[in-house]
Structure 1
Amino acid sequence: MKLKRWVLGFLAVVLVALPVFAGGEGEEQAVAEKKYVYAVISKGFMHEFWLTVKKGCDTAAKELGVFATFEGPATEAEVAAQIAMVENAITRRVDGILLAALDKKALVPVMEKAKAAGIPIVMFDSGADAEYLTLVATDNRAAAARAADYLAELIGGEGKVGVIVHDATSQTGIDRRDGFLDRIKEKYPKIQVVNVVYGGGDHAKSQDLIMDMVRSNPDLKGIFAANEGSAVGAALALEALGAAGRIKLVGYDTSEKELEFLKKGVIQGMMAQNPFNMGYLGLKILHEYVISGKKPESTFIDTGATLITAENLETPEVQRLLYPFKE
């Protein structure tokens, strides 16, 4: 039986309420048992995406017989908190770090500190301008370009569109924004991008930004939203303005709220990543390097992206992607 997605939402609330620094008795016991200990540091617990990554890490840790902590800031805007988590992992002298960088530049000094301490790093979801073994992630430029193609198809290849992104500092934010904009520029001369705004992945802030965008551009025909928070906020704005369906919305990620909006016709499509594989493959690659010294063959491992629409939502392939949790 598949685990109900509402349980994941409940777990997200619980995890946010817990202390953000990992370690504790479980890690002490693992050290005493001479197990390998890894620190997995995500961007936060705001969205179901990170819980799915955790499930992948937990599955890999069990298979490998290792211990992996999982932590992240309370919100995806807390770069300093994430840096402190990496510092804490270095102090604990973990065997390796699996990291999704909130800011590709701000994380560089602490990543260099980890390297100096002999602690290897594998990145997932979002890389950084520092040395690491490999990045296990979605090819976000390619996925955003696919989203641009689909939105262009929905609006007949012409008209005004807007873009809302979670941030302009993480590699995911930059790649999704630029992947979309570059494809529009290359292939669709009759489509005008009226604005690119940044909502921090916050539902309420994203809703306000999109409401302002629509009011300023009453002839807007489409919106690309680059993550879960952006997509849900945009959908809420379109519903509030009575523009759902008239203004086409293509999003990113696959939360329960996004799926509800897809079924209602507020969202027309979503680029679905594979966060389970990010956690699962990331931890396995990191452990393989620690025990053998063998570096991954590539510095980037693409975990894939799938365009989900109302038409393919119930197919077995999409259902397996959406519900990787089984009892």
Structure 2
Amino acid sequence: MRTTPPPRRRRALFAAALAVALGATATGCGSAGGDNAAAGAGDDKPFIALSNGFIGNGWRQTMIAKFEAAATQAQKDGLISKFKVVNAPGENSATEQVAQIKSLLLQKPDALLIDPASPTALKPVIEQACNAGIKVVVFDSAIDAPCAHVLLNSFKDWATAAAQPLIDGIGGKGTVIVSRGVVGSQPEAEMYQTTQDILAKYPDVKVAATVNGLCDGAKAQKAVLGVLSSVPKIDGVIGCGDGYGVAQAFTTANKPIPALTFETNGRALNYWRDSKLDNGSVAVMSDPGQSVAALWEALDLLAGKDVPKELTFPIVLVEQKDLAAWAGALKPDEYAAWPWTQELFRQQVEAVKSGGDPVRPPIPTAAN
């Protein structure tokens, strides 16, 4: 009877074969994080790698920063031996991320966390990782790879919270611009469809233009400014967290600022608070703290704990009542993120299993 080598042996055999296929050398597309083990963390502790398919907006940068801070502390606490982060340099290129992941696999991580550039194109390389005995946790997107565990926010909830209060705020009629996110990604496709479904219920809301803001204020500012001269009076801009940049576009064009979907970063929240806008504006985005939750998931999987194959975690919705607290806790370019501890992560896992209410971590303070 054929036997299967143990996971570390399988990883070693796989890495050797992959090295031959790639000419025995490979380099990452950019890296950060600890390749050196922390004092007291032995080689028997896990090595965690993170592959990020896109670094071109503040949300992704916050996501990486939160992961690195949590992984550094986990390294100090002796929970992991080392970690590595690689960021694909292009505009959400699946081809670049596949090459990036192949390079990471040569380094034989125990777990691989992936924020994917595509829900389908990474399937072969993810299956290679799984076959090598590596625990794979995909976050921030669904994925066509049955062997991977998936942790994500509800993109339908995000899109609904971005559009519905804004439409209500303008009285269910008027003219809007729709600012789309990272077109081509699974989350954006689901969010755009949700937005279209909501708009279909309001025949008196007309879409004057659709632009690609990439969920990034600076890019949305440029995209919206490019259409303002050719559209009528705008009552709202439905986005995925780019309202501060959109507001600057309207200011530059000397037009009244409409209802907006604000970013959840410190700059946007302080602007919203100080401008006293009360016109249906909202601040909502997915949680960049997903990367930290994915770290805890990987460690629990490596420890043999029972974790559902798919986990849905709560979005970050900043309501008027919590605006001052969030605005005071964040640096200008920092995005609101739930502070997932290992214990809070496990509580949310149990909530998912039982179908109970999601865990609501505390709003961080400036001291955090």
Per the TM superposition, whether the score is higher than 0.5 is yes
Computing the radius of gyration from Cα coordinates, the structure with the larger value is 2
Q: Tell whether the 8 Å contact from 2:38 to 2:76 is kept in structure 1 after alignment.
A: no
2: CA distance between counterparts of 1:19 and 1:124?
Answer: 20
Distance 1:26 1:157 in 2: 56
| CA deviation map 1:187-233 (0-9, x unaligned) | 42322233332234555542232123332222221111214xx4343
Distance 2:249 2:210 in 1: 16
| Equivalence for 1:11 | none
Q: TM-score, normalised by structure 2?
A: 0.70
> How far is the alpha carbon of 1:235 from its aligned partner?
2.5
**Residue in 2 aligned with 1:275?**
288
C-alpha distance in 2 between matches for 1:117 and 1:32:
22
Q: Per-residue deviation at 1:85?
A: 2.2
Change (3 A) 1:32 1:19: farther
Structure 2 CA distance for aligned equivalents of residues 316 and 220 of structure 1: 28
- Tell me the residue number matched to 1:111: 126
Larger helix proportion of the pair: 1
**1:178 is aligned to 2:193:** yes
Unaligned runs of 5+ in 1: 1-17
Aligned to 1:284: 296
Change beyond 3 A, Cα 1:120–1:318: farther
C-alpha distance in 1, partners of 2:93/2:39?
Answer: 30
Compute the displacement of 1:325 (Å).
6.5
Where 2:209 maps in the other structure, the secondary structure is strand
SS of residue in 1 equivalent to 2:178: strand
After superposition, where does 1:4-43 map in structure 2 within 5 Å?
Answer: 20-21=30-31, 25-26=35-36, 33-42=43-52, 43=54
The partner residue of 2:113 within 77, 84, 98 is: 98
Q: Is the 8 A contact 1:104 1:169 kept in 2?
A: no
1:223 to 213, 237, 242: 237
* Distance (whole Å) between structure 2 residues aligned to residue 144 and residue 49 of structure 1: 20
Match of 2:272 among 262, 265, 268: 262
Match of 1:308 in 2: 319
Q: 2:97 matched to 1:82?
A: yes
Contact 1:225 1:231 in 2 (8 A): yes
Instruction: State the alpha-carbon separation in 1 of the partners of residues 102 and 365 from structure 2.
Output: 32
Task: State how far apart, in whole Å, the 1-side matches of 2:132 and 2:40 are.
Answer: 21
Q: Which residue of 1 aligns with 2:66?
A: 52
Any gaps of 5 or more consecutive residues in structure 2?
1-27, 330-335, 339-362
Pair 324,122 (structure 1): closer, same or farther in 2 beyond 3 Å:
farther
Q: TM-score, normalised by structure 1?
A: 0.78
Q: Which gives a bigger RCO, structure 1 or 2 (Cα 8 Å, sep 6+)?
A: 1
3-state DSSP class of the match of 1:44? Answer: coil
**Offset of residue 288 of structure 1:** 1.5
Aligned to 1:126: 141
In 1, the alpha carbon distance for the partners of 2:40 and 2:89 equals 26
Instruction: Point out 4+ residue stretches in structure 1 off by more than 6 angstroms.
Output: 28-32
CA distance change for structure 1 residues 61 and 239 in 2, over 3 Å: closer, same or farther?
farther
Structure 2: distance between partners of 1:147 and 1:25 = 39
Q: 1:64 to 1:174 in 2, by over 3 A?
A: farther
Cross-structure match for 2:261: 250
Q: Secondary structure at the match of 1:314?
A: helix
| One-letter identity of the residue aligned with 2:160 | A
Distance 1:325 1:129 in 2: 39
**Residue correspondences, number:** 302
CA-atom RMSD in angstroms = 3.3
Q: Where does residue 344 of structure 2 map in the other structure?
A: none
